[in-house]
Chain A
Amino acid sequence: MPFIMVKHINKTFKVPIKASGIIGTIKSFFNRKYKYIKAINDISFSIKKGEIVGYIGPNGAGKSTTIKILSGILVPDSGEVKIDRLIPYKDRKKYVQEIGVVFGQRSQLWWDIPAIDSFNLLKEIYKIPDNEYQKTKDELIELLNLKDILNIPVRQLSLGNRMKCEIAASLLHKPKILFLDEPTIGLDAVSKKIVREFIKKINKQNNVTVILTTHDMADIEALAKRIILIGKGQILYDGSLSKLKKQYDYLRKITVITKDKVHLQKPYIVEEKTFEEGIEFVIDIRKIEINEFIKLISSKMSIIDIDVDSGNIDELIVKLYEDFKI
């Protein structure tokens, strides 16, 4: 049996319909209408121990709802979830002992006190033995370089430092699974890198299974070999990132700086734009290899400069969303 097994889960929310304006507000106060939103529609997947899975999708796709079901906060309307032989929403107390959860937009730490005090309280909540706690804590302080920030009240920390403390807090009890809901949201480049590297490290060292949701495709590229794409509550793609790239990332933008005015018009050229300094081609690399194409244009014109744009993963995702109409 897989480590994490999700079978045909559904979740519908009842949301009041609010009319706009004062009159509308008053009207809906007396006669409230509801609509039912299917946040999750028949989702199934399984995850092996030690995997890192990127869970992506546009806003409102059902990412957070899935994470909440997997972490035992919400109960699905139907379907089955089994993680390490436990049902998250039934064996809550036993189950949450095995997981760590970081919500990028919500703090787990006590706001007005230094992080170290929060850590000490978490030790009691999770009943972590003294020596084990000491060891894990020292390790985390070392790995995330927390020494100088642990004694400052959390509210005074920068977002990057706070996130480091949040992640450390979620790992004190040595969870087998780590859920990260937008862990790099709002962080600067340096902090993002630290967080990513740290996640990679603990995944390798402790064989922690990591499930992360994010809108930052660089997170996915750096961390997850496997992605699950969800839109409108349904799984649209489940597989490796490289395969997805092959399938969707076939356009390359090649900008050539040249004085020659040439028109090529070939079937593999999707777009051809002439401007003052040169020409911009968008080619389909499924039909022609890049070096073939460069050979061709260098025989047709004298090239001053050339730039190959290797396809941004964000654009890939936009294309994907368009394809699936989400």
Chain B
Amino acid sequence: MSLYFKYFKVHLKSELEYKTSFILSFIAQLFTLFSYYFTIICLFNQFSNIKGFTMYDVLLTFGIIQFGFAFCETFFRGIDKFDTLIIEGNFDRLLLRPRNILFQLFCDKLSLIKASKVIETIIVLIIAILNIEVNWNGYRIMTLIFMLFSAIIIFLAILIASASYCFLTIKGLEVRNVLTDGCKDMAQYPIGIFKKGFINFFTFIVPMGLVNYYPFLFLLGKSNNKLLCFCPLLTILYLIPAIWLFYRGLKRYSSIGS
């Protein structure tokens, strides 16, 4: 962990080498994400609720998913950009260092520009939490923390799984964006508003439902099953096949010329 912070310092120094670019990109990122939230606010200006979910409900699920994604983009950028690492031949460098490969990948790149998204989602989350109609108690606070945690885990698993695919194809696949951006855009709404097929997809194939739907029902008091509070933790299981795939791919790695 302390090594991660050492890397962090190096990346911070690198990014701050280009001051103007850093500041402008940081602001640009803020605006991009803001336009998303703006759409939601406009939407709920017209309809007071969608299938029983209010604006603050949606802002909360939206914020949780965005938080998980932005967190991975910011702090685990190396695995997100794995295909460029392989194409440019820099992956060899990681193999020459006496540390765990996945860990080095997490550390390899850091995008502080994307940190603006993390900050923004935290603000949105705070607004949503202050306004949402929830009877807060110990269980419910724990549920919320689990949800945030599992949002990170689920995107991490998707990123690792799609990175493993680069070992075969070298260039990253657009399929990955279906999984990351696609799921992100769908799952930021409480998936209960969708049809049955979608709900099944997001429960069993890409278990976004475990992150922000089933525990959310408990949070809002729509279900009293206390087990739902722990279901975000199931996403950890999703990491296992992802990591397994990655190490299988690593064995097939064939580097690039010279």
With A105-B258, A111-B14, A113-B14 in contact, is A126–B98 under 8 Å at CB?
yes
Which A residues are CB-close (under 8 A) to B96? 71-73, 96, 99, 101, 108
With A73-B255, A105-B258, A113-B10 in contact, is A125–B92 under 8 Å at CB?
no
For the complex, is A94 an interface residue (Cβ under 8 Å from B)?
yes
Interface residues in A121-163 (C-beta closer than 8 Å to B): 121, 124-127, 153
* Bound complex: CA A256 to CA B100 (Å): 66
Interface residues in A26-46 (C-beta closer than 8 Å to B): none
| Cross-chain contact A125 with B3 (CB below 8 angstroms) | yes
| Cross-chain contact B89 with A68 (CB below 8 angstroms) | no
| Cross-chain contact B258 with A117 (CB below 8 angstroms) | no
| Cross-chain contact A125 with B17 (CB below 8 angstroms) | no
Query: Separation in Å of the A13 CB from the closest CB of chain B?
Result: 6
* Bound complex: CA A178 to CA B14 (Å): 28
Query: Separation in Å of the A180 CB from the closest CB of chain B?
Result: 13
Pairs of residues from A and B, 8 with the lowest C-beta to C-beta distance, nearest first: A112-B14, A97-B98, A112-B17, A73-B95, A93-B98, A124-B6, A96-B98, A64-B258
Which B residues are CB-close (under 8 A) to A93? 98-100
Query: Separation in Å of the A185 CB from the closest CB of chain B?
Result: 10
For the complex, is A204 an interface residue (Cβ under 8 Å from B)?
no
| Cross-chain contact B257 with A64 (CB below 8 angstroms) | yes
For the complex, is B93 an interface residue (Cβ under 8 Å from A)?
yes
Which B residues are CB-close (under 8 A) to A325? none
* Bound complex: CA A111 to CA B7 (Å): 14
Interface pairs (21), CB distance under 8 Å: A13-B254, A64-B257, A68-B255, A73-B95, A73-B255, A74-B253, A74-B254, A92-B95, A93-B98, A93-B99, A94-B98, A96-B96, A106-B89, A112-B13, A112-B17, A112-B18, A121-B7, A124-B6, A125-B97, A125-B98, A126-B97
Interface residues in B98-153 (C-beta closer than 8 Å to A): 98-100
For the complex, is B90 an interface residue (Cβ under 8 Å from A)?
yes
| Cross-chain contact B13 with A113 (CB below 8 angstroms) | yes
Which A residues are CB-close (under 8 A) to B258? 64, 105
* Bound complex: CA A160 to CA B3 (Å): 30
For B90, the closest partner residue in chain A by CB is A106
Which A residues are CB-close (under 8 A) to B95? 72-73, 92, 96
For B257, the closest partner residue in chain A by CB is A64
Which A residues are CB-close (under 8 A) to B98? 92-94, 96-97, 125-127
The listed residue (A108, A121, A153) touching B93 by CB distance below 8 A is A108
Interface residues in A64-121 (C-beta closer than 8 Å to B): 64, 68, 71-75, 92-94, 96-97, 99, 101, 103, 105-106, 108, 110-113, 117-118, 120-121
For A14, the closest partner residue in chain B by CB is B254
- For the A-B complex with A92-B95, A110-B10 known, give 15 more contacts whose Cβ atoms are closer than 8 Å: A64-B258, A96-B96, A99-B96, A106-B92, A108-B93, A111-B14, A112-B14, A112-B17, A112-B18, A113-B13, A113-B14, A117-B10, A121-B10, A127-B98, A153-B17
Most A-side CB within 10 Å, residue of B100, B257, B258: B258
* A residues neighboring B (CB under 8 Å): 13, 64, 68, 71-75, 92-94, 96-97, 99, 101, 103, 105-106, 108, 110-113, 117-118, 120-121, 124-127, 153
For the complex, is B195 an interface residue (Cβ under 8 Å from A)?
no
| Cross-chain contact A73 with B92 (CB below 8 angstroms) | yes
| Cross-chain contact A75 with B251 (CB below 8 angstroms) | yes
* Bound complex: CA A125 to CA B6 (Å): 10
The listed residue (B10, B89, B93, B255) touching A74 by CB distance below 8 A is B255
Query: Separation in Å of the A157 CB from the closest CB of chain B?
Result: 14
Query: Separation in Å of the A181 CB from the closest CB of chain B?
Result: 8
Query: Separation in Å of the B243 CB from the closest CB of chain A?
Result: 17
How does the 8 Å CB contact mask read for B1-38 relative to A, with 1 for contact and 0 for none? 01100110010011101100000000000000000000
How does the 8 Å CB contact mask read for B238-258 relative to A, with 1 for contact and 0 for none? 000000000000010111011
* Bound complex: CA A86 to CA B93 (Å): 20
Which A residues are CB-close (under 8 A) to B253? 74
How does the 8 Å CB contact mask read for B25-53 relative to A, with 1 for contact and 0 for none? 00000000000000000000000000000
* Bound complex: CA A167 to CA B10 (Å): 20
Query: Separation in Å of the B141 CB from the closest CB of chain A?
Result: 36
Query: Separation in Å of the B226 CB from the closest CB of chain A?
Result: 43
Which B residues are CB-close (under 8 A) to A125? 3, 97-99
Query: Separation in Å of the B14 CB from the closest CB of chain A?
Result: 4
The listed residue (B2, B14, B251, B255) touching A110 by CB distance below 8 A is B14
Which B residues are CB-close (under 8 A) to A126? 97-98
| Cross-chain contact B14 with A96 (CB below 8 angstroms) | no
* Bound complex: CA A74 to CA B95 (Å): 9
The listed residue (A13, A74, A75, A117) touching B13 by CB distance below 8 A is A117
Which B residues are CB-close (under 8 A) to A73? 92, 95-96, 255
* Bound complex: CA A92 to CA B101 (Å): 10
| Cross-chain contact A124 with B255 (CB below 8 angstroms) | no
* Bound complex: CA A106 to CA B10 (Å): 19
* Bound complex: CA A71 to CA B251 (Å): 15
Which B residues are CB-close (under 8 A) to A92? 95, 98
